[in-house]
């Protein structure tokens, strides 16, 4: 996983609530056995017309949002299925940061496994960011994870909260499994006790 | 003294959590031990690839049970799979299970079916376990008093390599359903009514424990239906305390404890229910008698009403976000405000899925379908959740009832719940579906899904529109 670095980028606006993972990556694209190449299908049903051409009405197709790394979206983003194809598609498309008031639990976890910083903000902060983008499409925000700070040209910046464990993993780009395996002795010990406590599970 | 005792009382969730903590140190996420790991073909291939690339091995192969369900055809099983990408995914699953020595019920196995239907059939999940699967409907197994939740593919890899998961402790929500359900209201209606009440984000960050007399009255199948849809209310897991019904269901099944171990397991299971007076972070109460058969009208499971209701008008929502969501949903669903639910005509009926693909679902649906004919222009398909459910239904003659009424009687799979296997709605088609999600495009691009119980679905098939089954 790439370490997450402080960056300045266009912030794209997707002012919709309860965006579900079926929209982020529709099921017809879940049959691949690889992790890569899902970005071309991100938001497929909204993004493309029936004939395969770009749907000009869809927010992310606006030229001003081209190259955006920051996605600003409505409440309860990523609800629905557990498919990690959703964050894979988001990351592969080019986003590394999502800003919303809330996320579905599984999606939220999945983001951090894929180098995506999902920032929770309050309603008022989100409204301000959304207004700033709407008034000035193509505006660039600065996201500084180290200092937990978002800065905007319109002065709508603020600091945000993040779990210290998730933060350090993103900053270092460390592999979760490697971290857990540092505790392999404890896992072994636990398992020995588990066999004594619940022998029927090992019979 | 009293205060101290109060603090010591634990919910069932807290008991399971505490007994599975492997590491709990400051500055890092607690590490939770995983007893059972369920798998299907869609969310596992990249996890096996990751394991292979890093040179790691599956730590406890015996903790894993795999099936093929999402992509499998529900008819003409004997023919090769037409979709080459689906075929590759199926073959990859088989190869991954072979190489790693994992138990797999492949497409031709008599035990095959939808993972969350198959697993309980074999007694693979017991009370008090921590159970994961790369599938959000893993919550189903909370019906046994197991902490069961969906995970992403990176976490699938993590569990394979370490048998643990870094987890954040959830808050607890008690959902109390008291009283008696009216005739033909079911566990599905309770689940939809709860989602309607608290919303799809209402349970975010919580594990729900369902309690109350109406829950105790539910069969194990009903409890599975209920817990299955905990995720639709935003909760990663739902729980029902184990009781005599749970023990009775498990006894004698292939992977249930037996012989000398049964009494030992039983004693442990009986220690699991939440202590009297244990504190929950939130409580929601419903009266069972108030729950009418539910029908979803929108594109989110919270957009739901009783069958005696009408399609709401956007203006009826004071919350601006909900107003906008209603407007978008009505446009997508092709519905106008104040239309009676019973006036909505349907094109297709689907009974099946991990929510409603069990034997009792087909029994009640067959009862409704008996002696009827599928309405003109309507297609009705019954997809058992597993080959065992299919066999049981055939032993009871239910298949004949469906076939005589003009239904298609299929082989098991996820089928139209998420329409990955070729069973899908075409643009503008409207379904009455016993599945769990009515998101845009879920059952096919432009398809319009109404979530209902099996009884409601079967009645709609005969009438061609929704029917208040309480009045039949």
Among B42, B136, B325, the residue with its CB nearest the CB of A17 is B325
Q: Which H, E and C letters describe B318-379, residue by residue?
A: CCHHHHHHHHHHHHHHCCCCCCEHHHCECCEEEECHHHHCCHHHHHHHHHHHCCCCCCCCCE
Among A27, A35, A80, the residue with its CB nearest the CB of B420 is A27
CA distance A114 to chain B (A): 9
Radius of gyration of chain B (CA): 22
CA distance B398 to chain A (A): 31
Query: What confidence score (pLDDT) does residue B28 get?
Result: 82
Report yes or no: A199 at the B interface, CB cutoff 8 Å: yes
Give the residues of chain B that fall short of pLDDT 50: 1-2
Query: What confidence score (pLDDT) does residue A2 get?
Result: 82
8 Å CB contact between B429 and B444: yes
pLDDT in tens, B264-311: 999 999 999 999 999 999 999 999 999 999 999 999 999 999 999 999
> Taking CB atoms and an 8 Å cutoff, what residues of chain B touch A20?
300, 437, 439
Q: Residue B161 — φ and ψ, nearest 5°? A: -80, -30
Query: What confidence score (pLDDT) does residue B26 get?
Result: 84
Distances (CA, A) of A89 to A38, A110, B47, B84, B424: 4, 12, 16, 22, 23
β-strand pairing of B206-211 with B171-178? parallel
Query: What confidence score (pLDDT) does residue B4 get?
Result: 55
pLDDT in tens, A7-47: 999 999 999 999 999 999 999 999 999 989 999 999 999 99
- CA–CA separation, A80 vs B436, rounded Å? 10
Report yes or no: B45 at the A interface, CB cutoff 8 Å: yes
pLDDT in tens, A98-157: 999 999 999 999 999 999 999 999 999 999 999 999 999 999 999 999 999 999 999 999
Mean pLDDT of chain A: 95
- CA–CA separation, B223 vs B177, rounded Å? 12
Closest Cα to residue B435, out of B455, B450, B420, B456? B450
Handedness of CA A118, A120, A123, A125 (dihedral sign): negative
Share of chain A above pLDDT 70, in %: 100
Residues 6+ apart with CB under 8 A from B184: B293, B453, B455, B456, B469, B470
Burial of residue B427 (number of CB atoms within 10 Å: 0-12, 13-18, 19+) = exposed
pTM for this entry: 0.94
In this structure, the number of other CB atoms found within 10 A of the CB of residue B76 comes to 10
8 Å CB contact between A126 and A13: no
Chain B stretch 290-349, residues whose beta carbon is closer than 8 A to a beta carbon of chain A: 300, 321, 324-325
If you measure CA to CA, which chain B residue comes closest to A177? B158
8 Å CB contact between A26 and A81: no
Query: What confidence score (pLDDT) does residue B1 get?
Result: 44
Residues 6+ apart with CB under 8 A from A123: A101
For chain B, the maximum distance between any two Cα atoms, rounded to a whole number of angstroms, is 70
CA distance A173 to chain B (A): 14
């Amino acid at each position: 996983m790439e370490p997450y670095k402080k960056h300045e980028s266009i912030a794209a606006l997707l002012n919709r609530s309860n965006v579900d993972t079926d929209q982020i990556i529709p099921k017809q694209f879940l049959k691949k056995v690889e992790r890569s190449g899902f970005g071309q299908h991100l938001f497929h049903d909204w993004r493309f017309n029936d004939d395969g051409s770009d749907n000009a009405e869809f927010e992310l197709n606006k030229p001003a949002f081209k190259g955006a790394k920051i996605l600003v979206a409505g409440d309860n983003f990523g609800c629905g299925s557990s498919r990690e194809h959703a964050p894979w598609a988001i990351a592969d498309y080019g986003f590394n940061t999502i800003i919303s008031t809330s996320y579905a639990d599984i999606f939220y976890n999945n983001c951090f496994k894929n180098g995506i910083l999902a920032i929770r903000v309050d309603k008022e902060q989100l409204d301000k960011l959304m207004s700033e983008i709407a008034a000035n499409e193509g505006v660039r925000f600065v996201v500084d994870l180290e200092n937990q700070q978002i800065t905007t040209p319109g002065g709508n910046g603020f600091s945000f909260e993040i779990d210290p464990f998730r933060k350090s993993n993103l900053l270092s780009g460390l592999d979760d499994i490697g971290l857990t395996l540092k505790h392999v002795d404890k896992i072994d010990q636990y398992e020995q006790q588990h066999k004594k406590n619940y022998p029927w599970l090992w019979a | 003294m009293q205060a101290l005792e109060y603090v010591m009382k634990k919910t069932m969730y807290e008991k399971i959590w505490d007994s599975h903590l492997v590491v709990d140190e400051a500055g890092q996420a607690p590490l939770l031990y995983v007893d059972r790991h369920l798998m299907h073909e869609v969310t596992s291939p990249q996890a096996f690839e990751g394991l292979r690339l890093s040179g790691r091995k599956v730590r406890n192969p015996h903790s894993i049970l795999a099936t093929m369900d999402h992509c499998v055809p529900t008819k003409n099983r004997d023919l090769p799979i037409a979709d080459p990408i689906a075929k590759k995914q199926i073959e990859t699953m088989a190869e991954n299970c072979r190489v790693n020595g994992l138990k797999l019920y492949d497409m031709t196995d008599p035990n095959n079916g939808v993972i969350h239907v198959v697993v309980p059939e074999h007694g693979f999940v017991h009370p008090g376990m921590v159970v994961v699967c790369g599938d959000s409907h893993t919550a189903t197994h909370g019906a046994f008093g197991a902490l069961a939740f969906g995970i992403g593919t990176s976490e699938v890899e993590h569990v394979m390599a370490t048998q643990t998961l870094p987890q954040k402790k959830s808050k607890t929500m008690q959902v109390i359903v008291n009283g008696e359900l009216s005739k033909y209201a079911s566990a599905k209606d309770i689940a939809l009514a709860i989602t309607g009440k608290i919303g799809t984000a209402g349970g975010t960050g919580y594990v729900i424990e369902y309690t109350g007399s109406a829950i105790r009255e539910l069969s194990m199948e009903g409890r599975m239906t209920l817990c299955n849809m905990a995720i639709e209310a935003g909760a990663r897991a739902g729980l029902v305390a184990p009781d005599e019904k749970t023990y009775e269901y498990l006894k004698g099944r292939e992977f249930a404890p037996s012989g000398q171990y049964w009494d030992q397991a039983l004693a442990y299971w009986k220690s699991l229910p939440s202590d009297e007076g244990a504190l929950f972070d939130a409580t929601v109460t419903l009266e069972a008698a108030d729950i009418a058969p539910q029908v979803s009208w929108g594109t989110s499971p919270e957009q739901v009403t009783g069958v005696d209701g009408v399609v709401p008008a956007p203006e009826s929502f004071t919350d601006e976000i909900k107003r906008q969501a209603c407007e978008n949903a009505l446009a997508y669903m092709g519905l106008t405000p104040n239309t009676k639910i019973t006036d909505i005509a349907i094109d297709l009926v689907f009974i099946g899925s991990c929510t409603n693909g069990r034997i009792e679902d087909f029994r009640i649906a067959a009862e409704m379908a008996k002696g009827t004919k599928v309405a003109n222009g309507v297609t009705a398909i019954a997809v058992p959740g597993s080959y065992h459910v299919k066999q049981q239904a055939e032993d009871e003659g239910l298949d004949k009832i469906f076939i005589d009424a003009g239904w298609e009687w299929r082989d098991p799979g996820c089928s139209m719940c998420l329409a990955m296997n070729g069973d899908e709605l075409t643009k503008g088609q409207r379904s009455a579906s016993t599945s769990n999600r009515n998101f845009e495009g879920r059952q096919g691009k432009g398809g319009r899904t109404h979530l209902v119980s099996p009884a409601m679905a079967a009645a709609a098939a005969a009438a061609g529109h929704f029917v208040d089954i309480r009045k039949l």
